[in-house]
Structure 1
Amino acid sequence: MNESNIDWILAIACFLAGIGIGALGYHLLNANVARNQKVRQRLAETELELNQVRDALNDHFAKATDLVTNIQRQSQELEQQLSQSADRLCDDLQLKRRLTGTGADEIPAENDEPSMPRDYADGGRGTLAEDFGLRQDETKEKEQTQPVRY
């Protein structure tokens, strides 16, 4: 074989190897692009679902707020109706006070001042005392039975 034929064969082999490596690289890079597109599509779909859930939740809370407002309004109307009916029809003074909300139990007593919190009960010593949990008999025994230290 001639040396010139070997050069041509080597050049053709390198060209074919380059084509193979290029095709392999294109395939690997293109696969990542396709995967990224699928991930982006799934992300867009989940964001759309999340927005729909948020909108539905906002609508739900708005409707719940309207219903609570209606219940409060109807409750106030019912209280007013009861108090007006009690004023017209009822002779019992205590019942009228209860219905109108001016009962004697709602007036706070002025002489009942809250006392300072303590860490002990009446007649006892508390946990903040210096000798809490110590017995005098045991401390004397411990002092007598301890060995001499050098």
Structure 2
Amino acid sequence: MNESNIDWILAIACFLAGIGIGALGYHLLNANVARNQKVRQRLAETELELNQVRDALNDHFAKATDLVASIQRQSQELEQQLNQSADRLCDDLQLKRRLNGNSSDDPLTESDELSMPRDYADGGRGTLAEDYGLRQEEASEKEQPQPVRY
């Protein structure tokens, strides 16, 4: 055989080997791209679902707010209707005052209302006092002036 034929055969073999190596590299590198594309697609679907849930939640809260406002409005209308009917039909002054919110004649006064609980009784010192648990001698010693310390 001729040397020129060997050069051509070697060049064709190298070309085919390069094409094979290139195709193999493309296939290996492209597998990650396809996987990434699937992950992106799943991410887009999840974001779409999340946006739909947010929209549904916003609609739910808006409807709940409207219903609460409607209930408040209806309760105010009912209270006004009761007050008007009581003014027209009722002869009992105490009942009229209670319905209108004027509770000056109510048996409960401001002093009878509930107050914050305390840890001591009226007139007592309680457990939060500075001298709680000290004996009288110790208390009298504390009242004496202390010597000056240097």
- TM-score higher than 0.5 here? yes
The offset of 1:42, in angstroms, is 0.7
- The two structures have a TM-score, normalised by structure 2, of 0.61
Q: Structure 1: which amino acid aligns with 2:80? A: Q
Residue identity in the other structure for 1:91: D
1:103 CA drift (Å): 0.8
TM-score (norm 1): 0.61
Q: Which runs of structure 2 are paired with 1:1-150 in the superposition (5 Å)? A: 18-104=18-104, 109=110, 122-124=124-126, 126=128, 129=130
| Number of positions where the alignment pairs a residue of Structure 1 with one of Structure 2 | 128
Q: Distance in 2 between matches of 1:125 and 1:71?
A: 48
Deviation at 1:132, TM superposition (A): 6.3
2:119 and 2:13 map into 1 onto residues whose CA distance is: 95
Q: Which whole-Å CA distance do the structure 2 matches of 1:28 and 1:134 have between them? A: 85
2:20 & 2:133 partners in 1: Cα distance?
A: 87
Structure 2, unmatched stretches of 5+, are 1-6, 138-150
Q: Structure 1 pair 22/62, CA: closer, same or farther in 2 (3 Å)?
A: same
Partner Cα separation in structure 1 for residue 9 and residue 55 of structure 2:
69
CA distance in 1, matches of 2:33, 2:41: 12
**Counterpart residue type for residue 66 of structure 1:** D
For residues 30-73 of structure 1, the C-alpha deviation after alignment (integer angstroms, 9 at most, x for no partner) is: 00000011011111111111111111112112211211111111
Q: Distance in 2 between matches of 1:13 and 1:23?
A: 15
Which position in structure 2 is the counterpart of 1:148? Answer: none
- Could you tell me how far apart the structure 2 residues matched to 1:100 and 1:83 are? 6
Identical pairs, percent:
83
Q: Which moved more, 1:74-83 or 1:49-58?
A: 49-58
Structure 1: where are the runs of 5+ without partners? 1-6, 137-150
- Once the two structures are superposed, what CA deviation does each residue of 1:62-116 show, in whole Å capped at 9, x if it has no partner? 21121111111111110011001111111111111111111125x9849x9x9xx
TM-fit CA distance, 1:22: 3.2
